[in-house]
Amino acid sequence: MSAGGEFESLEEILERHVPEAQLSEVKRILFGKEITKLLLPEEAIETAKECNFELKGYGFEAAPEQLRLPRKIRVGLIQNHIVLPTYAPILDQINAIHQRVGQMVEVAAMCDVNIICLQETWSEFLTTLIPHLNVDCFHQLAKKYNMVIVSPILEREKLHNTIWNTAVVISNSGNVLGKTRKNHIPRIGDFNESTYYMEGDTGHTVFQTVFGKIAVNICYGRHHPLNWFMYSINGAEIIFNPSATVGALSEPMWPIEARNAAIANHCFTCAINRVGTETFKNEFTSGDGKKARNDFGHFYGSSYVAAPDGSRTPGLSRTRDGLLVVEMDLNLNRQISDIWSFKMTGRYAEYAEELSKAVQRDFKPNIVKEE
């Protein structure tokens, strides 16, 4: 248990309590085919220890093919606490969080990560105050380390002061490849985001990087299977899901949603969650009948990667900052598609026709009843 009374991870509990003889079968059924541990460089392991964050590495294998070369790449997922309290001066908060996440990106570079994704609005104040600061310092890192950086931020549009929850994709050249805006805005629990973010207008953009085609399905979008599906229809090979969500609300769904999306869409998915319990000076309620409180609940981390064959990595800690490094061969997507053929067998024209009727006001559900 951590000082805050939170336990470390489900996997750790299983490892500790399930008898050795049954553990591998329990893990196979719960987590899918066993995956390999990555040997990470000593320098990275030491630096992570010094900087007090968890560093884990895993690899998904694909079968060798006769007509295609392997397409092995490494992704990095970063989960982190806020560094200073929510009521510290904003510029101090910005500098502190930049320094922290910068350290973690450096370690990712030591581990040869090709594409890294940070958590949802990891740097939420930046563009409000200092336009493009966030992008500017990370584009230098992207270029220096030949790394694509997915950087989810709060974006303020200049003309009308519209605020969006956005992920900027910085190419390995250091240039901004584009951005995607959160397209489903939550109205649940304390996440009253519709009072400050606008629904995104960037559609289901997929970014062609030198390492593969990627998309970003921001947080609450993971509850919508069609959202994942549309990124996949546009060709995404890896879909990142940078999130910020708390235990009481969503933890039982967390291991299922991104993993199911990887299976259903023959792609890799990367679920990243914030970590820590954040407190505010003023008490608040969400009109939910609960007593006014100062904290938002526990952001439970547990970031993980899922593969199209339904296997998944263990999660990062529920309580600690962490970097998850995952090697994957993108050939696995087509290999699994060739076995299960979900894309080929989906009746999309039929769904599209029925759906176009279902969104009409005069829609009558197709139900047969006994007279």
Ligand X SMILES: NC(=O)NCCC(=O)O
For ligand X, the closer of residues 219 and 324 by Cβ is 219
Give one word for 289, left, alpha or beta, with left for phi > 0 and alpha for psi -120 to 50: left
Closest contact distance (angstroms) between CB of 152 and ligand X is 10
For residues 87 and 279, give the distance between their C-alpha atoms in angstroms, rounded to a whole number.
9
Residue pair 316/54 in contact by the 8 Å Cβ criterion: yes
The contacts of residue 5 (CB under 8 Å, 6+ apart) are none
Comparison of 138 and 197: residue with beta carbon closer to ligand X: 197
Closest distance to ligand X from the beta carbon of 181 (Å): 13
Which of 111, 117, 219, 267 is flagged as catalytic?
219
Helix (H) or strand (E) holding 103: helix 90-110
C-beta of 359: minimal distance to ligand X in Å? Answer: 24
Nearest approach, Cβ of residue 294 and ligand X (Å): 19
- Identify whether the C-beta of residue 102 lies closer than 8 Å to the C-beta of residue 224: no
Q: What does DSSP assign to residue 201?
A: -
When computed from its CA atoms, the radius of gyration of the chain, rounded to whole angstroms, is: 21
Contacts by residues 9-12 (CB-CB < 8 Å, ≥ 24 positions apart): 9/302, 9/314, 9/315, 9/316, 9/317, 9/318, 10/315, 11/314, 11/315
CA 117 to chain centroid: 7
CB of 66 to ligand X, least distance (A): 43
Nearer to ligand X, 47 or 202 (CB): 202
Q: What is the dihedral of CA 25, 31, 35, 39, to 10 degrees?
A: -110
Would you call 182 a catalytic residue per the annotation? Answer: yes
Is residue 342 a contact partner of residue 309, using CB atoms and an 8 Å limit?
A: no
**Residue count of the chain:** 371
| Nearest CB to ligand X, comparing residues 191 and 268 | 191
Of 107 and 168, the one with the shorter C-beta distance to ligand X is 168
Catalytic member of 54, 61, 117, 120? 120
33 is catalytic: no
Rounded-to-integer distance, Cα 197 and Cα 120, Å: 13
Distance (Å, whole) CA 364 – CA 367: 9
Q: Is 219 a catalytic residue?
A: yes
Q: Which is nearer to ligand X, 194 or 208 (CB)?
A: 194
Residues at the site binding ligand X, with contacts judged by CB under 6 A: 120, 186, 188, 191, 219-220, 243-245, 249-250
Provide the minimum distance between the beta carbon of 223 and ligand X in the complex, in angstroms, as a whole number: 6
**DSSP single-letter state for residue 87:** T
Active-site residue set: 120, 182, 219
